[in-house]
Amino acid sequence: MTWQSWEPQFKSDFENCIFYNAILRNSVTFDDEDVNDLKNLHDLPNSVLEEYYIRSKKIISKMNELGLNRDPTWDEIDRVYLKDIKNQIKENKRHLLVDSIRDLLNTLELKYEV
């Protein structure tokens, strides 16, 4: 299963997308609304999407090295780190998303020493 944007180079999967992992591998089994909301992020500027995927891939790779690419880790990321981003999407505060996504990536890079 993958998310496909209208731009073929931006295809979310378990190897390159923090959101994809956090939502599909968390402990919540009824979060389809979150999946649909996050699919709509593909309309962000291509430069932001490219940055997101490159940095996410590095974070996930580091998590693999550390043995932390597991469902409990993704559940924590979903609950702790994606909460604000999900709320911004639901509240239609898209103007905040780019900074919030970068903050998320910075936080996870520091946490996992990427």
Residue 5, domain member (yes or no): no
**In total, how many domains does the chain have?**
1
Task: Output the CA torsion 10→11→17→20 (10° steps).
Answer: 130
Print the domain residue range for 49: 10-112
d(CA 112, CA 60): 9
Q: Give tens-digit pLDDT for 39-75.
A: 777 778 889 999 999 999 999 999 999 999 999 999 9
Q: Give tens-digit pLDDT for 69-105.
A: 999 999 999 999 998 998 998 898 989 999 999 999 9
Q: To which H or E segment does residue 69 belong?
A: none
Residue 4, domain member (yes or no): no
d(CA 29, CA 92): 24
Residue 2, domain member (yes or no): no
Residue 3, domain member (yes or no): no
Q: Dihedrals φ, ψ of 66, to 5°?
A: -85, -5
Adjacent-strand bridge partners of 11: 4
Residue 33, domain member (yes or no): yes
